[in-house]
């Protein structure tokens, strides 16, 4: 225990030397460099922490929190026990009967100053599995060749365990904090229903009010074993669902009609499939493309640099959009048909046919304008659009100048071998939008270096995390938190 304390303090102190503009820190902190003895010890310390964190991650995977129903209470109980053993008191925040988030706080001063506080947030629930498509039991935390398999390994129990580790590291080392650090494990992120962060904020905001937050949403991009860049999520697209509804005359299928709802819906969906919304470059996306341009091969880099030019802009937007579906979606509102429903019997012409469009708006764009475009494109009086009530809210982006943004960028860049840290607008939604609407500078920073192939297993089959990437992530996250919240 004592050793651990001393070691983390050495680590924090080294970081502080860096902040104070001391000797070349890369030499001190890169394990390969001839490091002074104290740093070697610090590495050992974080090794022990990472080992504990790996155990917590495996245990959390074994607690099946598939949402629905979520069953997050079991995970919350487990985390409360881990914290109790470390001498940290936590509190359950009940969001629905039998369903609680968990909050714990390390104080920076006697009088709390929420605007300075740092919130470490991760969700406990996971999406379901198609068990027959997995090669291992998704809830057994199976380890094979140094890789841990299980639902939630990446989304989001990996970060949950890493948050827990970074939080506990501060406590073990008895670090003097310059701000409160709050650990929050949330429910119902995947469904966004009765137990979601929206409900949690409405009921318990004063329990975890903070000016800064670290959440999921960003990534450390690994290609052929080499980290390419760190993406720090500072903004996200806004989800919405819109029903496309075609009406026609119902009747006997032996007598075809011109106003068949199925035919009109199919034609409408086919036209919608050709739609491409206009490109809008906001600050986060502009900075992202500026900073990744030098990392891409010469040809695509040339087009990325031309995105905003008057003469070649339009062609560049097409080339860049075609090169990568994520880039396409970062540049514009997206419309994806996802569900079709029509008919009750094989021999009956139905009076109505419906499709669902899953829409992701750029923050600031409106659904009305988009539906106006689609209405013109479909151009069919038998077809109408109906906005579904489950849409998200647009939030302002987090600042790219804040102390926390700078700390994440500096530490992550340094720790992953001086790679660029770039701001990122995720195409998917996270809890950060709700936090940003409460004036929180929230950033998505998932500190695990993952190949695209592993990244894509999120919500898919055989979700997994290489244990080396997890341990390194725990270490980097701990350093980010220590350098942001420890007294210099």
- Contact residues for Zn ion (CB under 5 A)? 155-156, 216
If the CB atoms of residues 179 and 446 are measured against Zn ion, the closer one turns out to be: 446
Q: Minimum distance from CB of 436 to Zn ion (Å)?
A: 17
If the CB atoms of residues 157 and 179 are measured against Zn ion, the closer one turns out to be: 157
| Long-range Cβ pairs for the range 85-91 (8 Å, 24+) | 86/168, 86/171, 86/172, 87/171, 88/167, 88/168, 88/171, 90/183, 91/207
If the CB atoms of residues 72 and 155 are measured against Zn ion, the closer one turns out to be: 155
Q: Are strands 421-426 and 226-236 parallel, antiparallel or unpaired?
A: parallel
Pure H helices in 186-297:
197-208, 261-272, 283-292
The CA distances from residue 377 to 336, 355, 387, in Å, are: 15, 16, 17
Question: Which pair of tokens denotes residue 475?
Answer: 């270490």
Q: Minimum distance from CB of 189 to Zn ion (Å)?
A: 6
If the CB atoms of residues 156 and 463 are measured against Zn ion, the closer one turns out to be: 156
Q: Minimum distance from CB of 126 to Zn ion (Å)?
A: 8
If the CB atoms of residues 318 and 459 are measured against Zn ion, the closer one turns out to be: 459
Residues near 186 by Cβ (< 8 Å), separated by ≥ 6?
101, 121, 122, 123, 124, 196, 197, 200, 431
Q: Minimum distance from CB of 260 to Zn ion (Å)?
A: 41
Give the C-alpha separation, 409 to 414, whole Å.
8
If the CB atoms of residues 151 and 179 are measured against Zn ion, the closer one turns out to be: 151
If the CB atoms of residues 14 and 233 are measured against Zn ion, the closer one turns out to be: 233
- Across 35-132, the runs of DSSP E, i.e. the strands, are 90-96, 99-106, 118-123
Q: Minimum distance from CB of 188 to Zn ion (Å)?
A: 11
If the CB atoms of residues 119 and 268 are measured against Zn ion, the closer one turns out to be: 119
Give the C-alpha separation, 302 to 323, whole Å.
13
Give the C-alpha separation, 370 to 333, whole Å.
8
If the CB atoms of residues 156 and 462 are measured against Zn ion, the closer one turns out to be: 156
Q: Minimum distance from CB of 201 to Zn ion (Å)?
A: 17
Q: Are strands 99-106 and 212-215 parallel, antiparallel or unpaired?
A: unpaired
If the CB atoms of residues 156 and 163 are measured against Zn ion, the closer one turns out to be: 156
Question: From the CB of residue 208, how many other CB atoms can be counted at a distance below 10 Å?
Answer: 27
Residues near 318 by Cβ (< 8 Å), separated by ≥ 6?
none
Q: Minimum distance from CB of 441 to Zn ion (Å)?
A: 20
If the CB atoms of residues 292 and 440 are measured against Zn ion, the closer one turns out to be: 440
Q: Minimum distance from CB of 96 to Zn ion (Å)?
A: 19
Cis peptide upstream of residue 68 (ω within 30 degrees of 0):
yes
Q: Minimum distance from CB of 406 to Zn ion (Å)?
A: 25
Q: Minimum distance from CB of 352 to Zn ion (Å)?
A: 35
Q: Minimum distance from CB of 171 to Zn ion (Å)?
A: 26
User: Nearest-CA neighbor of 163 among 486, 485, 474, 484?
Assistant: 474
If the CB atoms of residues 11 and 159 are measured against Zn ion, the closer one turns out to be: 159
Q: How many residues does the chain have?
A: 488
Cis peptide upstream of residue 77 (ω within 30 degrees of 0):
no
Q: Minimum distance from CB of 156 to Zn ion (Å)?
A: 4
Q: Are 328 and 322 in contact (CB under 8 A)?
A: yes
Dihedral sign for Cα atoms in the order 126, 46, 19, 21:
negative
Dihedral sign for Cα atoms in the order 306, 239, 473, 20:
positive
């Amino acid at each position: 225990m004592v050793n651990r304390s001393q070691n983390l303090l050495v680590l924090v102190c080294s970081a502080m030397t860096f902040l104070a503009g001391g000797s070349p820190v890369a030499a001190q902190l890169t394990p390969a460099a001839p490091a002074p003895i104290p740093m070697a010890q610090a590495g050992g310390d974080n090794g022990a922490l990472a080992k504990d964190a790996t155990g917590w991650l495996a245990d959390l995977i074994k607690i099946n929190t598939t949402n629905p129903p979520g069953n997050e209470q079991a995970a919350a109980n487990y985390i409360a026990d881990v914290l109790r053993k470390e001498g940290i008191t936590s509190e359950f925040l009940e969001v629905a009967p039998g369903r609680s988030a968990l909050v714990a706080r390390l104080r920076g001063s006697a009088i709390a100053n929420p605007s300075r506080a740092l919130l470490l947030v991760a969700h406990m629930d996971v999406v379901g599995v198609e068990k027959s498509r997995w090669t291992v039991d998704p809830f057994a935390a199976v380890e094979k060749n140094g890789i841990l398999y299980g639902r939630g390994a990446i989304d989001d129990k990996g970060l949950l365990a890493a948050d827990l580790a970074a939080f506990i590291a501060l406590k073990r080392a008895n670090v003097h904090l310059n701000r409160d650090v709050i650990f929050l494990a949330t429910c119902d992120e995947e469904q966004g229903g009765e137990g979601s962060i929206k409900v949690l904020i409405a009921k318990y905001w004063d329990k975890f009010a903070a000016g800064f937050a670290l959440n999921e949403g960003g990534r450390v991009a690994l290609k052929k074993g080499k980290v390419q860049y760190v993406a720090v999520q500072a903004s996200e697209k806004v989800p919405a669902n819109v029903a496309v509804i075609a009406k026609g005359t119902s009747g006997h299928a032996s007598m075809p009609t011109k106003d068949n709802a199925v035919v009109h819906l199919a034609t409408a969906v086919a036209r919608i499939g050709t739609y491409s919304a206009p490109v809008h470059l906001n600050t986060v996306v502009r900075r992202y493309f500026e900073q990744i341009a030098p990392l891409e091969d010469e040809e695509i880099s040339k087009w990325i640099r031309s995105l905003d030019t008057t003469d070649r802009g339009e062609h560049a937007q097409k080339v860049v959009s075609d090169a990568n579906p994520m880039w396409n979606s970062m540049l514009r509102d997206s419309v994806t048909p996802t569900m079709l429903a029509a008919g009750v019997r094989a021999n009956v012409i139905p009076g109505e046919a419906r499709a669902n469009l899953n829409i992701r708006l750029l923050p600031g764009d409106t659904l009305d304008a988009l539906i106006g475009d689609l209405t013109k494109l479909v151009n069919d009086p038998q077809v109408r659009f109906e906005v579904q009530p489950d849409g998200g809210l647009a939030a302002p982006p987090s600042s790219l100048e804040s102390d926390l943004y700078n700390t994440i960028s500096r530490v992550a860049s340094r720790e992953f071998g001086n790679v660029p840290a770039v701001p990122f607008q995720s195409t998917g939604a996270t809890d950060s939008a709700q936090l940003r609407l409460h004036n929180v500078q929230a950033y998505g920073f998932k500190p695990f270096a993952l190949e695209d192939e592993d990244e894509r297993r999120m919500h898919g089959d055989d979700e997994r995390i290489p244990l080396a990437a997890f341990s390194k992530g725990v270490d980097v996250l701990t350093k980010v938190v220590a350098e942001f919240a420890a007294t210099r």
